[in-house]
Each structure stands twice: as C-alpha cells, then as structure tokens.
A = this chain, B = another copy of it.
Amino acid sequence: MIARQQQVLALCGGVGGAKLALGLARCLAPQQLTVVANTADDFEHLGLSISPDLDTVMYTLAGLNDSRKGWGLAQETWQVLAALERLQGDTWFQLGDRDLATHLLRSQLLARGESLSAVTAQLCRRLAVDTRLLPMSDDPVRTVVETDSGDLAFQHYFVRERCAPAVRGFRFEGIEAARPQAQFLQLLRDDSLAAVVICPSNPFVSVQPILSLPGVGDALRQCRAPLLAVSPIVGGEAIKGPAAKMMRELSMPSTALAVAEYYGDLLDGFVIDRSDAAQAQAIEALGIEVLPAATIMNSLQDRIDLAQRVVAFSQSPL
C-alpha cells in the first residue's frame, strides 16, 4: 500500500473509469485520491449544462448509479422526458427526472458565474461524496467525432446516432485555449503524488482530451510518479462503449497491445486482463511493465480488488 500522505490521481471518463474510481475510493483514504474526469463530452441541451462523465463518476462514488442499466441513476423515472415527447420536444438524449435535477442545479450555479470545479465540489458535497472529483478543465472543450457521415458533436455521435457512423478521427474544440484544472496540474507537480492511473475508459474520447490539455502531456512525462493504465479492451472488445469499434474503424487492431501503443511512452505500466496475457511480452517490448489481472469489474469487490492490484503495481519496483 501507499503511505498515508501519498496521493493517487485517477484520470477517467464515464462508466468503466467510474468503476475503478470507486474501487480506488474504497481502498484509499479520501485525502489520498483525486479523480479527474473528462469534460469534452459535456454539452448544452435544452438550455442545460450537462457533464455526463463527471456525473457518472459522482453518482458512482455516491452509490446512486444504476449498476444494472450501466448508466444513469438508480430508481430513475422519466416523467419529464415523456411530457417533452408529448410536446414534440427533443428527446434523443435520455434525461431522467432525478438526473435532470443535477443538470438544473449545475446550470443554475454556472449561470451565477461559479466555475465547473466549484459546482462539481458543491454537488459532490451535497451527495456526500468525499473523494476529490475535478473536471479536467473549467474551460469548455468539446469533442467532435469525424465520421463518414460528417462531423458530429460527441453526444450526437454517441447517443443520437448510437455510435453507428464509422469514425475517421476526433478533434477537441477549444482544447488549445483550455487550461487544465488548477488542482489537477498542481497535483501532477506535487511530491506526494505516488501514482497516476488512467482508468479503463475510452482512449480516444475519454482519456485523450485530458492528455491533450496544454501542459498535461509534459507534466505527466516530468512527474516522478509512475503512470499506469488499465486496458479498456479485453479479448479484443470493449467492456462497454465504442472503443473497439473505433479502433477497427481507425485501422488499429482492437487489442490491449494497440491501446498500449496508443498511449506510448507516457506509460510506465499497463494492466491487462488475464485473458490477454499472451500480449504481455509485446507490450513489455515497448518498455512498459505489464500486470495481467482480473480487469472485468462486475461486483464491488472486483472494483476494490482491481484497485488494490493497480495501487500495489504502481508501488512495485519498475
């Protein structure tokens, strides 16, 4: 385990990342863990400011997520959406009633001039989440998915088009002007940082926006703490979401090895699923330590076990 005063930084997107973040939250003290979530899939819809990845992590850490459905809140209801449908409003984005309350409150606080960081901290406090959860930036960054049907705003690609169009590339609008969240950048330079963990999130649209923020790549390379990733690809497929489909469309093999190659020299270590252990040697040939582990997190104990393995791996002699 890591010392009491040491810290772990987790970078993550939505559902898969949130699972590991929860595991980390359960095996570290609150002051030891900082989770930075992607905000490049944030969007404005019906006048509301929606931050899907922040909310997924927040709901998961609060124990309010719908683990059966895999997204959104447990015991969610859909009265507003049904009424909106009767009014012939936009209903392509599934907005639950309980979730909507979060968006209303966030939008209200943002409109008052508060930063997304401050609003996120407030929401977390109100939901009794004691892990420090930070947006990757308080400045707007918006992923555009370049597809064979043209450019699509991320949620249009992801939700409205159900990831059907073939992907050709991505761009992150606003990224050049976006400043990494201040505490995030500070932590990267902090001597107490013991490990940076890239959670098993989509490398292209969940993790890459965080890595692409000005200064973050350099700070990660300069930081003394080891940087580890957990592969989101197991047996050639993503546990959830379009990562494997995207890799194929981008003419990459949909393998853990290809993910390791994608992160490249940023990585000190890579956690792959046991079932992919045959790829370990090729990944190690890239100069990356490999830990095969049980990476499919069905139960809470799976999340905790994997988090413990990841933390222990980060502290092993590399």
Contacts of A99 in B (CB 8 A): 83
**CB of A92 to closest CB in B, whole Å:** 13
The verdict on A27 contacting chain B, using a C-beta distance below 8 Å, is no
Q: How many copies of this chain are found per oligomer?
A: 2
Chain B neighbourhood of A86, CB < 8 A: 101, 126
Whether A108 contacts B47 by the Cβ 8 Å rule is: yes
From B89, B98, B104, B108, A79 is in contact (CB under 8 Å) with B98
Given contacts A87-B123, A87-B127, contact A79 B107 (CB under 8 A): no
What is the 8 Å Cβ interface bit string for chain A, positions 77-115, against chain B (1 contact, 0 not)?
101111110111110000001111110110110010000
Interface contacts beyond A46-B105, A79-B79, A83-B97: sample of 12 additional A-B pairs, CB < 8 Å, sorted by A: A46-B108, A47-B47, A47-B111, A77-B79, A80-B97, A83-B99, A83-B102, A86-B126, A87-B105, A87-B126, A87-B127, A89-B101
Give the size of the chain A interface in residues (CB under 8 angstroms).
Answer: 29
Q: In this assembly, does A293 line the interface, its C-beta being within 8 Å of a C-beta of chain B?
A: no
Q: How far is the CA of A99 from the CA of B97 in the complex (A)?
A: 12
- Cα A296 to Cα B267 in complex, Å, equals 77
Asked whether A277 is an interface residue with its Cβ less than 8 Å from the other chain, the reply is: no
CB distance from A103 to the nearest CB of B (A): 9
Would you call A48 an interface residue if the criterion is a C-beta within 8 Å of the partner chain's C-beta atoms? yes
Could you tell me the distance in whole angstroms from the C-beta of A127 to the nearest C-beta in chain B? 7
Q: Is the CB of B107 within 8 A of A46?
A: yes
Taken together as a complex, chains A and B put the C-alpha atoms of A126 and B87 apart, in Å, by 6
Chain B residues in 8 Å Cβ range of A98 = 79-80, 82-83
Interface residues of A in 148-188 (CB under 8 A from B): none
| A104, B80: Cβ atoms closer than 8 Å | yes
Decide if B77 touches A89 in the complex (CB within 8 Å). no
**Contact between B126 and A101 (Cβ–Cβ < 8 Å)?**
no
| CB proximity of A190 to chain B, nearest CB, Å | 31
Q: A47 vs B126: C-alpha distance in the bound complex, in angstroms?
A: 20
**In the complex, which residues of chain B have a beta carbon less than 8 angstroms from the beta carbon of A81?**
101
